[in-house]
Amino acid sequence: MTIEWLTFRCTHCSRLSNVRKNIEPIGKSLKCSKCQQIFLLSNDNLCEAPKVLTFHCPKCGEEIKVIEKEGIYGRQVTCQKCHHNFSLTEKRKDESNFFEKQELPTIINNRYRKISMVGKGAMGKVYAVFDNHLQKKVALKTLITKHTEESEKRFLREAKLTARLIHPNIVEIYDLGVIDEQYYFTMEYVFGILFTNVLQSSKYKRREILRMFVKLCYAIDYAHEKNIIHRDLKPDNIMVQQDGEPKIMDFGLSKMVGDSQRLTATGMIMGTITHMPPEQALGRIDEIDHRVDIYALGVILYTLLTDTIPFQGKTAYELLRQIVSEDAIEPHHLNPKIPQKISLICMKAIAKDKEDRYASAADLAMDLEEFL
């Protein structure tokens, strides 16, 4: 349902305020957010309807509508669909050609044969293709035509960093190339379901999921040994194959330890806020190290144990406040079947101070193996 707004000018300081039309505001009073004076809403101070801008989440493509006002660009917002936090910029404002309907050719570089499109986001598309060289089905990821220089750098970094990781529980990158002046890369095609669905399914026993989780910990530890930090670990970025093997995907926000090149400004939040530790949620770039991934693993473990996440603020601000200032309820208090010892393991992983977290994802895995 489209929300309609009316704009009124404060009779004391001329500040504009937006009020929902469906509450029939004419004749009612409103307290001005600037001068704190109460003024009457009437046809005399009714202004032209505000312009509504449409943005798309750079992670999942979800449409986000925002009333245009001074200072809107640069404002941090959280996608209500995937909880990705990003900054509003004019480049992300919706334009008629933003999601161009360009189609991948049926044959790509005399090597790949397109089968179907399997996913689409604000920045790119993923296709199932047949690789004539490898003689098997692979996934091909490509940027949309109208992308930013920053998104192109992230795309290339994802391909190059992930290609360094050869691990049974990390999706393998096969090839990086160009088609019609657009970059693409191909990767392992995973036949399976999202780890999100595994956590919600009654098909899997908790111990079985915990065994998958331990494998994820060792995979992340392997990435850390290669000096690569994921920075956006969450169940939606993990696939589980039909044989039960988990695969970590989407290294789009990953970075090399010691890499001085910044694609994120200090104070800008990138990632999924529900799975961020305080230092990442506050945008303290210089404080981010491999322990942000350990925190994210802790949040995934928390969900595995309790069927919920540690913090659930109704707004991005409230969620941020909880992450920074509040203590999570210990898992065994939410699920009495959980041994207190495993509950304490989880709480150590999501400690607010990174110095109090596990030193490595392998240490977390080894403590959990006692329960397998």
CA distances to 77, 104, 294, 340 from 268, in Å: 11, 33, 21, 37
Contact assessment for residue 185 and residue 173, using Cβ atoms and an 8 Å cutoff: yes
Distance, in Å, from the CA atom of 301 to the CA atom of 317, rounded to the nearest integer, reads: 24
Beta-bridged to residue 129, according to DSSP, are 114, 138
Q: Confirm whether residue 146 is marked as ligand binding.
A: no
Cα–Cα–Cα angle for 119, 306, 279, rounded to 5 degrees: 70
Q: Which residue has the tokens 């660009």?
A: 73
Q: Given the residues 131, 232, 293, 367, select the one marked as catalytic.
A: 232
Distance, in Å, from the CA atom of 305 to the CA atom of 308, rounded to the nearest integer, reads: 8
Beta-bridged to residue 131, according to DSSP, are 112, 136
Distance, in Å, from the CA atom of 52 to the CA atom of 50, rounded to the nearest integer, reads: 6
Distance, in Å, from the CA atom of 318 to the CA atom of 298, rounded to the nearest integer, reads: 20
Catalytic-residue membership of 131: no
Q: In the β-sheet with 173-179, what is the strand arrangement from edge to edge?
A: 107-108, 112-120, 124-131, 136-143, 182-188, 173-179
Beta-strand pair 271-272/84-87: antiparallel
Residue type, 82: C
CA distances to 17, 139, 272, 342 from 219, in Å: 51, 21, 20, 20
For the four alpha carbons of 254, 257, 259 and 260, in that order, the dihedral sign comes to: positive
Task: Region of 88 please: left (phi>0), alpha (psi -120 to 50) or beta.
Answer: beta
Active site residues: 232
Which residues are documented as binding site? Answer: 141
Which residues are documented as binding site for ATP? Answer: 141
